[in-house]
Amino acid sequence: MDIIGFLGLGFSVALDPINILYCFIGVLLGTLVGVLPGIGPTATIAMLLPITFSLSPAAALIMLAGIYYGAQYGGSTTAILINLPGESSSAVTAIDGYQMAKKGRAGHALATAALGSFFAGTVGTLLLAFFAPPLARAALNFGAPEYFALIVLGLLVSIALAHGSILKALAMIVLGLLLGMVGQDIYTGTPRFTFGVRELYSGLNFVSVAVGIFGVAEILRNLENEKGREVMVKSVSNLWLGKEEFKRIIAPVIRGTALGSILGILPGGGHILASFASYSAEKRLSKNPEEFGHGAIEGVAGPESANNAAAQTSFIPLMTLGIPAHPVMALMVGAFILQGITPGPNVINDQPALFWGIIASMWIGNLLLVMLNLPLIGLWVKMLTIPYRALFPAIVLFACIGCYSINQNVFDIYAIGFFGILGYGLIRLGCEPAPLLLGFVLGPLLEEHLRRAMIISRGDPMIFLERPISATLLGLALLAVLIAILPSIRKKRKEVFVEED
Amino acid sequence: MKKTIATLALATLALSGTAFAQAYPTKPITVVVPFSAGGPTDTVARLVAEVMSGDLGQQVVVQNVGGAGGTLGAGQVATAPNDGYTLLLHHIGMSTAPTLYRSLPYVPLTDFATIGLITSVPMTLVARKDFEPNTLEELLAYIKTNGENVTYAHAGIGSASQLCGMLLMESTQTVMTTVPYQGAGPAMTDIIGGQIDMICDQTTNTTSQIQAGEVKAYAVTSPERLANLPDLPTTKEAGLDLEIGVWHGLYAPAGTDPAIIERLETSLQAALTNETVIARFAELGTAPVTAEEATPAALTEMLTSQIELWRGVIEAAGVYAE
Amino acid sequence: MLAKFSLRDLLAGGIFVLAGAYFALEALNYEVGTPFRMGPGFMPLLLGAVLAALGIGVAASGWEKPDREKPLPPSWRGIVLIVGVVIFFGATIRGLGFVPVVFVAAFASAMASRLNSPLFAALLAVGLTVLCTAIFVIGLGMTVPWFGPWLGQ
C-alpha cells in the first residue's frame, strides 16, 4: 500500500462514528482541563486511563491524544484571559496575549491562537503521515552534547523574551536555572536545596512556579490600585480578525509551525523550546519589536503555532520508535500497553489500522477543535465582563485546587505563595517573569545533558566541538550573541561619530 | 441520610471488628503507586486494580504519588489510616530503599502489612545494535577488557536497571561507566540512537525493541526463557550467575485488620487468575505469581530476603541516594 | 551617593546577589566532582556565582539613573490575605476537607479587595464552593474528602 492507501485506511478508522465521538470527547475534555489552571493533560489522562479499558484500542488512543492537543489549546485560553499559564508553552502566549486582552483585544488573541493552532496541527499531522520514520531516525542523532548545545542556543536566543533590561533578563534566566535544580540530583540522588523536606525531592512543580509568578503576582499588582483603573477593558469591539491582522499573522504562523515541527521531533526536550524560540524569532524579525510585551499579535501567533506543531510532531518518536518524548507521551505508552499493544517500531507494520487511524484522527481532532473553539471565543470574552473583584478569588482557588490535584502535594501549594511574593517583588523592581520560567524548565535539562556528555566523553569538553551538530548549534549561539550585541556597538559608534562631528 | 449511615457505621463498629470487616469494602479503595502514571509498575497496578474492583464490588482507584525514588508514596501509605482503604503497590524498590536511603522515614518490614506478591518482571541485557560483542560470553569478555570504557545506562537512582547493573558488575567483578537517565524511556532512546553502549532493563521496556531488531539482546535474567522471545538464552544457560526479577507486591499500613487483609488476599489471587490479566502480563513478558506466592507470608519472606541481599550489593557498590 | 542610584535596580541587584550567594554557598555542601563526573554541587556553584555577579551588574546599571516615577504602594492587605489563603489551603486541605477549605479560602481572598463587602464575599464564597466542588470533586473525580478527618468524618 502506498501513503494514500494508508491514509485512506486511517480515515476509514478515524471517520468511524464511534471514533469521531471519542475524538470529540477527547478534544472537549482537553479544552476544558486546559482552561482550568493546574489540571493539565497529564493529570487528566492519568485519571481517565481506567475508563479507556473498556474502549477499543483505536477509540481509547484517539481520545487520549485528543485530550493532549485539546489541552494545549485550552491552556492558551487561560493564559490570554487571566494570565495563568498551565504549561511552559502557554507562559509565552501569556506575555502578549494577556496584554492584548487587557486592551480589549482578547477575541483577536483567541482567534489567532485557534487559527494558528489549526494550521500548525494540520502541517504537523502531514509531517507525521509522510515522514515519521525518517524524521524519528534523524532525531536519534541527537545525543547529550547536541541537546546541551541546543539548550544553550535556546537560552541565549531567548534573551529577546525581555522587553526591558537585558542584564535583568539574564539574571532572571540564571535564577530560573538555579530554581530548576531544587530536588534530588538525578546522577547521585543527593537532595539539593530541599531543607530536608522530602516533598521537595522531586523538585519544584512547574505549575506552582508559573501560577505563582504570573497569576498571583498579577493579582497582587492589580490590588495595588483598585479605584484608579479597571484591569480589563470592558468594551470589546469586534471578535474577528480584520484583513490587516490576518496579514500580520500569516508569516509568524508559518515560521512558528516550521520551528515547532522541527523541535517537537527531538525527544530530549525539544518541544519545550518551541514556543520560546518562535517568540524570540518573531521579535527579532519584527519591524516594531518595541510592540512585543505590550500586545503584539505576532507574539501570540508564532508561539501558539509552534507549540501546537510541536505537540503534533512529538508523537513521531512515540509512534515510530516507542520512545516517549515527555511525561504525557509516557502516559500514552501506558495507555498503549493497557490496550495490549506495546509501542515500538513494529506498531506501524503490525497495527496499520491503528497507526494510521490515530494520525488521521489528529487532523480531524484539530478540525473539531477549531470548530469548537471559534464559537467559544464569544463566551470566553464575555467572561471578562465579570468584575475583577469577583474573578480574582476564583483564580486563586482554581490555582490552589489545580496544583493540589496534580500530586496531592501540599508543598506545591506553598510554592504558589512563595513564588507569588517573589514574582510580585521582582516585577515591581522591573524584572520580567518569562525568562525566569524559561530558565526553570531548561535548568534541569541543561545540567543533565552537560553532565551526561562529559561522562560519555570521559571529561573531555572537546566533545561539543568534535560532533558536527553540536558544533553548529554552538556556532549559531555565538552568532546570536554577536547579533544581539552588534546593534548597540554600532549605535555607540554612531554616537561617537556624532560627537566628533 | 448521612447521619443514619454514620450511626449505622458506628453501631457496626461497636458490635465487632469482624462484622465491620465483613462489610468491607464500603467505599472506594485507593492503591498508591509510588511512581508516575504510565510506567511499568503503574501498568501492573492498573491491570490488577481493574479486576479487583469487580471482585470487591468497589472501585479500586490507582493514585500516583511519584518522587524520591518511590519513598514518598510508600511513606504516605505507611502513615495512612490502617482501615484497608489505602494500599500500596510497590516493586523491588521496597527492599532497596532501606539501604539506598539512609534516612528513610519508614521501616518496610514493620510499618506495612503484606498482602501478597503479584508478579516478577524479568529483565534483559541489551546493547546498541552495532555494539561489538554478539553473545553474552563475548559481552562479558568485552566488559572485562574494556572496563570503564563501556557505558552502562540506567533509569535513575533506585531504578531496576541500576540494580541490575550493580548486580552485573558485582557478579563479574568489573566496573563500567554508569550513565544515569531520567526514566527508562530516555535511556532506551540513547541505546537505540547508539549514544550509549548497554542497559539491563525490564522486558516491559525492551521486548518490542528486541523484536524489531533496534537493539542487540544478550540474555534474559529469569530462570526460564520467555515465551515471546524464545531465542534469547537465560543468563544461567549462558553461564552467568545473575538472576533478577522486578517483583511487585501489595501492602497495607501495619495494623490493618487481618480479616481485611484476608479479603484483599483472596481478591488479589482472583485477579491473578483473570484471563485478561494473564494475557496482558504475557505481552509485558511476565506472568502472575502462583496462588501460594500471592500471600502475606510469601511477600514477607521475599521482602526480608531481598532487603538482606540488596544491603550487601549496595554497600559493596557504595552507591547511596542520600 | 545613594540618591544617584536607581533604588529599583539596587534592590533587584541585591536580591540576585543574595539568591546567588545562597545557592553557591549551599552548593559548597555538595560534591563538586571532576570534569568527568561532575558532582551535584558543580552547576549550582557556577550558576550561583554568575547570578551574584549579574546582581552586582544590575545594581551598578542603575548608577546615575535614579527612579523617575514613584511606584504605587503595595496593597499589604491583599498580600497578607492572598498569601495567607494559599498557605491556609495547603495546611488544611487534608485535615478539613474540600468544602470548608474552599469556602474559607474564597471568602478570605475576596476580602483582599477593598471593593468587596463581607456580604458580597460570603455570597461569592458560597457560589465558588458549589462551582469548585461540582467541577473538581464531582466532575473530575479528585480524590479528596468533602469534609476531612478533623471534622470527625
Q: What is the pLDDT of residues A161-201, one digit of tens each?
A: 666 778 898 999 999 999 999 988 888 878 899 888 878 88
- Assess whether B262 and B205 both reside in one domain: no
- Give the confidence band of B227 by pLDDT, cuts at 50, 70, 90: confident
Nearest Cα of chain C lies from the Cα of B38 at a distance, in angstroms, of 19
Domain total for chain B? 2
Dist. CA B110–CA B105, nearest whole Å: 12
Task: Please return the burial class of A4, using the count of CB atoms within 10 Å of its CB with bins 0-12, 13-18 and 19+.
Answer: exposed
- Assess whether B86 and B175 both reside in one domain: no
Contacts with A455 (C-beta within 8 Å, 6 or more apart), sequence order: B151, B177, B179, C36, C37
What are the helix (H) ranges across A384-432?
388-407, 410-428
pLDDT of residue A214: 87
A240 CB within 8 Å of a chain B CB: no
CATH number for position B43:
3.40.190.150
Q: B64 near B120, Cβ under 8 Å?
A: no
Spell out the long-range contacts of A139-143 with Cβ–Cβ below 8 A and sequence spacing 24 or more: A139/A265, A139/A266, A139/A267, A139/A316, A139/A317, A140/A321, A140/B189, A140/B192, A140/B193, A140/B194, A141/A469, A141/B193, A142/A266, A142/A267, A142/A268, A142/A469, A142/B193, A143/A453, A143/A456, A143/A467, A143/B190, A143/B193, A143/B195
Identify the closest residue of chain A to C125 by CA–CA distance. Answer: A393
Identify the closest residue of chain C to A168 by CA–CA distance. Answer: C58
- Choose the final residue of a domain: B210, B238, B266: B238
Q: B253 near B111, Cβ under 8 Å?
A: yes
- Give the confidence band of B14 by pLDDT, cuts at 50, 70, 90: very low
What are the helix (H) ranges across A36-189?
41-52, 57-82, 88-102, 106-139, 144-157, 166-179
- Give the confidence band of A488 by pLDDT, cuts at 50, 70, 90: low
- Give the confidence band of B11 by pLDDT, cuts at 50, 70, 90: very low
C117 CB within 8 Å of a chain A CB: no
CATH number for position B175:
3.40.190.10
Res. C67: pLDDT tops 90: no
Contact residues, chain C, for B157 at CB < 8 Å: none
Q: A124 near A65, Cβ under 8 Å?
A: no
Dist. CA A346–CA A367, nearest whole Å: 29
pLDDT of residue B16: 41
- Assess whether B134 and B220 both reside in one domain: yes
- Give the confidence band of A235 by pLDDT, cuts at 50, 70, 90: low
**Hey, of C18, C140, C142, which one would you mutate to test binding to chain A, going by the most A CBs within 10 A of its CB?**
C140
Q: Is residue C120 within a helix (H) or strand (E), and if so which, with residue range?
A: helix C118-132
Q: A427 near A433, Cβ under 8 Å?
A: yes
A391 CB within 8 Å of a chain B CB: no
- Assess whether B215 and B265 both reside in one domain: no
- Assess whether B127 and B234 both reside in one domain: yes
pLDDT of residue B123: 93
Domain of residue B223: give its range. 122-238
**Hey, of B65, B104, B190, B281, which one would you mutate to test binding to chain A, going by the most A CBs within 10 A of its CB?**
B190
- Model confidence over B277-286: pLDDT tens digits? 998 888 878 8
- Give the confidence band of A267 by pLDDT, cuts at 50, 70, 90: confident
- Assess whether B111 and B137 both reside in one domain: no
Tell me, yes or no, whether B21 lies in a domain: no
- Model confidence over A90-112: pLDDT tens digits? 888 988 999 998 888 888 999 99
Q: B44 near B248, Cβ under 8 Å?
A: yes
Res. A230: pLDDT tops 70: no
Dist. CA A458–CA A466, nearest whole Å: 14
pLDDT of residue A445: 87
**Hey, of C61, C70, C89, which one would you mutate to test binding to chain A, going by the most A CBs within 10 A of its CB?**
C89
Contact residues, chain C, for A223 at CB < 8 Å: 75, 77-79, 82, 112-113
B residues 129-188 near A, CB within 8 Å? 151, 156-158, 177, 179-183, 185-186, 188
- Assess whether B85 and B137 both reside in one domain: no
Q: Give φ, ψ of B202 to 5 degrees.
A: -60, 145
C143 CB within 8 Å of a chain B CB: yes
- Assess whether B126 and B102 both reside in one domain: no
Contact B208 A344 (CB under 8 A): yes
Q: A347 near A58, Cβ under 8 Å?
A: no
Which residue among B65, B181, B182 places its CB closest to the CB of A408? B65
B39 CB within 8 Å of a chain A CB: yes
Res. B21: pLDDT tops 60: no
Q: Is the peptide bond before B296 cis (omega within 30 degrees of 0)?
A: no
pLDDT of residue B139: 94
DSSP code string of B137-154: HHHHHHHHHHGGGSEEEE
pLDDT of residue B177: 93
Task: Please return the burial class of B316, using the count of CB atoms within 10 Å of its CB with bins 0-12, 13-18 and 19+.
Answer: exposed
A residues 187-206 near C, CB within 8 Å? 187-188, 190, 192-193
Dist. CA B232–CA B218, nearest whole Å: 7
Which residue among A199, A346, A455 places its CB closest to the CB of B177? A455
- Assess whether B70 and B131 both reside in one domain: no
Three cell numbers written together for A219: 493579582
Tell me, yes or no, whether B297 lies in a domain: yes
DSSP B35: S
pLDDT of residue C153: 53
Tell me, yes or no, whether B16 lies in a domain: no
- Model confidence over A68-80: pLDDT tens digits? 888 888 888 888 8
- Assess whether B219 and B77 both reside in one domain: no
Residues of chain B with pLDDT > 70: what percent? 93
- Choose the final residue of a domain: B182, B216, B238: B238
DSSP B79: T
**Hey, of A333, A412, A446, which one would you mutate to test binding to chain B, going by the most B CBs within 10 A of its CB?**
A333
- Choose the final residue of a domain: B238, B259, B276: B238
pLDDT of residue B2: 43
Q: Give φ, ψ of B318 to 5 degrees.
A: 70, 30
pLDDT of residue A160: 67
Nearest Cα of chain B lies from the Cα of A387 at a distance, in angstroms, of 38
Three cell numbers written together for A333: 505508552
Tell me, yes or no, whether B67 lies in a domain: yes
Res. A495: pLDDT tops 70: no
Tell me, yes or no, whether B15 lies in a domain: no
Average per-residue pLDDT for chain A: 85
Average pLDDT on A53-62 reads: 87
Contact residues, chain A, for B181 at CB < 8 Å: 186, 452
A442 CB within 8 Å of a chain C CB: no
Tell me, yes or no, whether B136 lies in a domain: yes
Dist. CA A180–CA A172, nearest whole Å: 12
pLDDT of residue B18: 45
A residues 345-374 near B, CB within 8 Å? 345-346
Q: Give the N- to C-terminal CA distance of chain A in Å, as an integer.
A: 74
Dist. CA A58–CA A3, nearest whole Å: 20
Q: B187 near B154, Cβ under 8 Å?
A: yes
- Assess whether B57 and B129 both reside in one domain: no
Identify the closest residue of chain C to B179 by CA–CA distance. Answer: C37
Q: A155-169, A207-221, B278-292: lowest mean pLDDT where?
A: A155-169
Identify the closest residue of chain C to B2 by CA–CA distance. Answer: C153
Res. B160: pLDDT tops 50: yes
Nearest Cα of chain B lies from the Cα of A313 at a distance, in angstroms, of 16
Which residue among A140, A202, A327 places its CB closest to the CB of B192? A140
Q: C112 near C78, Cβ under 8 Å?
A: yes
Tell me, yes or no, whether B17 lies in a domain: no
Average pLDDT on A138-161 reads: 85
pLDDT of residue B3: 44
pLDDT of residue C3: 66
pTM of the complete model? 0.85
Q: Are strands B112-128 and B198-202 parallel, antiparallel or unpaired?
A: antiparallel
Packing angle of the helix pair A57-82, A88-102 (nearest 10 deg): 40
For residue A491, CA distances in Å to A100, A267, A486, A498, B233 come to: 31, 41, 8, 10, 71
- Assess whether B206 and B275 both reside in one domain: no
Three cell numbers written together for A73: 489549546
Q: Is residue B164 within a helix (H) or strand (E), and if so which, with residue range?
A: helix B160-172
Residue position matching grid coordinates 561617537: A496
pLDDT of residue A272: 80
Res. B118: pLDDT tops 90: yes
Tell me, yes or no, whether B173 lies in a domain: yes
